[in-house]
Chain A
Amino acid sequence: MDAAVRELSYSQAIQEAMAIAMEADERVILMGEDIGVYGGAFQVTGDLIDRFGPDRVMDTPISELGGAGVAVGAAVTGLRPIFEFQFSDFAALAMEQIVNQAAKMRYMLGGAVSVPVVMRFPGGSGTGAAAQHSQSLEAWLGHVPGLKVIQPATPHDVKGMLLAAVADPDPVMIFEHKLLYKMKGPVPEGHYTVPIGKAEVRREGRDLTVVATSLMVHKALEAAETLAAEGMDVEVIDLRTIRPMDRETVIESVKKTSRLMCVYEGVKTLGVGAELSAMVAESEAFDYLDAPIVRLGGAETPIPYNPELEKAAVPQVPGIVAAARDLIRGAR
């Protein structure tokens, strides 16, 4: 099967995935604030309401807690809702339903139910939206057993992983970096899935393993090119899923390169990088480490408004290059 491959933007890829899922299964519905005729705050749902009607592309009131809960209840009883948060920051309003209900319901009921809900969280900084509309909160939800948490970094992956999420019987949380929405890349036509829980080696190298998430994958790849010109050979892993985390790919890579750097946009402390570092330090890869593990994460501040401050609050390519260079040269 040679499905045609076109260039689509990340948001087009999401929209296409949702449309394919809705065509295939009447039970799939979209819920969210202003996703109908408005098309969603980031135009991800776009014109889907014209194709599927307001009963399947449902505008909710501005009620994140209630809306998320309705999606959970609908999922438990037979629908397959895809619930869009307008900004991932608004997850804070709905944590009760996500953390106490969706994540735990199957366990609390001894396996009597499943909760096949998909929730989408546009996140990340770089749009000048300041502290309450720019956070990367995936680690919050990554901390909760019962949830699956993914961060696709390319149009190809977001389509395949969203389709995998819709088919998944458990709640899947998708964190989409807002700066990725316009990024274009090859996307096959038709239905395909990209597995949840599997990282992807985006670039092979032998001097250093960089594990990155979401937008940072692209920054790490850019940094790796700069470093290659200096003779440093960096392996870049796109983690793709933060729960359940792909131990094997990361550990095998670190055993090969003997060095680990984690690059992620969420606040550095107690974040994805902390987990990766601990995972590697606890594993058989420990005995292969030839340098300290390095984390590059978001600053210990809210995301600021001023564009230069905003850039400084999250990892950027020159910083990644400098840290990697020091690490490989043994200066850290």
Chain B
Amino acid sequence: MPVEVIMPKVDMDMATGRISKWFFGDGAEVKKGDVLFEIETDKAAMEIDAPASGTLRDISGREGVDIAVGAPVAWIYEAGEAYAGAPAQQPAPAAAEPAKAPEEARPAAAVPAVPPAAADTGGKVRATPLARRLAQEAGIDLSAVGGSGPKGRVTRADVLAWRPPEKPACTAAAPAASPAPAPAGPSDEQVRRLFAEGSYEVVAHSNMRRTIARRLVEAKSTVPHFYLTVDCSIDALLKLRTELNAAAPVADGRPDFKLSVNDMVIRAYAMALRAVPEANVSWTEEGLLKHRHADIGVAVSVPGGLITPIVRSAEIKTLSAISSEMKDLAARAKDGKLKAEEYQGGTGAVSNLGMFGVREFAAIVNPPHATILAVGAGERRPVMVGDEVRGATLMTVTLSTDHRAVDGALGAELIGAFRSYIERPMLMLV
């Protein structure tokens, strides 16, 4: 049998080789170990020895052609071995010619491609992944949602707070002015016609006014309300407040804190929600969100409306922390400088009109809250103690609840817990 001479693999990753030079021709006598041919690799030229002694025949591996590793390039016949023409072999198959280098087809002086338009934030909305996902799930166009984050980044809170613009009323074609929400009520025109021309002026709605109108209509028409009212004795609370304020450390001539009754109401309500966690909830269609912390929205009246900044985790904060946070939030609310996430969310709310002398009132639950506590003025009133009439300072509070989430007995438990913190205020300090 003739001995096959192959294109050897001489390097890692070598798939093909190229013979640069044969040192023997067809029919030459070679000795085992003679250098038969030289191959080029990426790195260098290598000399390849004859694998056997004999006559070299059927050189099929041509010089300068890529040949697959392992392919025969010639045969060596032993002395005296019959040569019956080339073995049934294809000539060493040239490795597939690489496609003509594409650069040849390229124009000599390539014109630089037109640079893409400078990155334009108009095209892309800056938003967090969570905001994107929530918007997508709710079918909200992100570009319509104003972002409150750095460089206008839209966050979860922005998406949650966003409401679609109302459908324009069919008659009013005033551009850019979306009409006040008035589902099934009289039209603007009908309302105006009830008053004599010139007897009124039209004050354009602010965005805040529109939002208040929309949200309260929504809340009052979709949330089934019910109300629970109790009187709380606040003499002990007022006394404690006086003592605490008197004991406040003074730095730079100013006391470190000055607690208000409302600060104590916030804390008491938060602690009540912690004590009755079933009432610290939000209604969603899928299920009740049972909150781990009591985040209290506190209604603050501001020019042109009201806003409810949130004191987060108020159940774990000290009275002084709540007090200083409320001062900061109220001041910034009045300046219109609250961030969206400072007034969005919350697990319950407090609205206090006591400072206006209001004795009692009922407030509208503002989802996602399930409850809101309406706080009236503290006033001296006669109370029966046994059979005697005594004077006491009483504060009447009314709890409004979302009946979907909080039933009557549960609401009673909550307002009872609130009253016990108010009437035994030392418990708020521990």
Asked whether the complex places CB atoms of A and B closer than 8 A, the reply is yes
Report B142-174 residues with CB < 8 Å from chain A CB. 148-150, 153, 155-156
Question: Which one of A10-18, A191-199, A225-233, A265-273 is at the B interface?
Answer: A225-233
Q: Is B325 engaged at the interface, CB distance under 8 Å to the other chain? A: yes
Q: How far is the CA of A288 from the CA of B132 in the complex (A)?
A: 9
Q: Is A289 engaged at the interface, CB distance under 8 Å to the other chain? A: yes
- 11 residue pairs A–B, Cβ–Cβ below 8 Å: A229-B317, A231-B313, A231-B317, A233-B313, A258-B130, A289-B128, A290-B131, A290-B156, A330-B149, A330-B341, A332-B150
Give the total of A residues in contact with B, Cβ under 8 Å.
Answer: 18
Beyond contacts A231-B313, A231-B325, A233-B293: 10 other A-B pairs, Cβ-Cβ < 8 A, are A228-B313, A231-B312, A258-B128, A286-B129, A289-B130, A290-B129, A290-B131, A329-B339, A330-B150, A332-B150
Q: How far is the CA of A233 from the CA of B316 in the complex (A)?
A: 11
Q: Are the C-beta atoms of A291 and B325 separated by less than 8 Å?
A: no
Report B60-101 residues with CB < 8 Å from chain A CB. none
Give the total of B residues in contact with A, Cβ under 8 Å.
Answer: 23
Q: How far is the CA of A322 from the CA of B132 in the complex (A)?
A: 27
Distance (whole angstroms) from the CB of A218 to the closest CB of chain B = 22
Which residues from chain A sit less than 8 Å from chain B, CB to CB? 206, 228-233, 258, 286-291, 329-332
Q: Is B133 engaged at the interface, CB distance under 8 Å to the other chain? A: yes
Contacts of A287 in B (CB 8 A): 129-130, 132-133
Q: Is B332 engaged at the interface, CB distance under 8 Å to the other chain? A: no
Question: Which of A228, A288, A290 is in CB contact (< 8 Å) with B155?
Answer: A290
Q: How far is the CA of A231 from the CA of B150 in the complex (A)?
A: 21
Q: Are the C-beta atoms of B293 and A258 separated by less than 8 Å?
A: no
A258 and B156 in contact, given A330-B341, A331-B150 (Cβ under 8 angstroms): yes
* Per-residue A-contact encoding for B316-328, CB less than 8 Å = 1, 0 else: 1100010001000
Contacts of B156 in A (CB 8 A): 258, 290
Question: Closest 5 A-B residue pairs measured CB to CB?
Answer: A290-B130, A287-B133, A231-B312, A289-B129, A290-B156
Contacts of A232 in B (CB 8 A): 312
Q: Is B364 engaged at the interface, CB distance under 8 Å to the other chain? A: no
Q: How far is the CA of A222 from the CA of B292 in the complex (A)?
A: 22
Q: How far is the CA of A291 from the CA of B127 in the complex (A)?
A: 9
Q: Are the C-beta atoms of B150 and A288 separated by less than 8 Å?
A: no
Q: Is B50 engaged at the interface, CB distance under 8 Å to the other chain? A: no
Q: Which residue of A lies closest to B131 (CB)?
A: A290
Q: How far is the CA of A331 from the CA of B153 in the complex (A)?
A: 10
Contacts of A258 in B (CB 8 A): 128, 130, 156
Q: Are the C-beta atoms of B312 and A291 separated by less than 8 Å?
A: no
Q: How far is the CA of A286 from the CA of B132 in the complex (A)?
A: 11
Contacts of A206 in B (CB 8 A): 292-293
A330 and B148 in contact, given A206-B292, A229-B321, A231-B317 (Cβ under 8 angstroms): yes
Contacts of A330 in B (CB 8 A): 148-150, 153, 155, 339, 341
Contacts of B148 in A (CB 8 A): 330
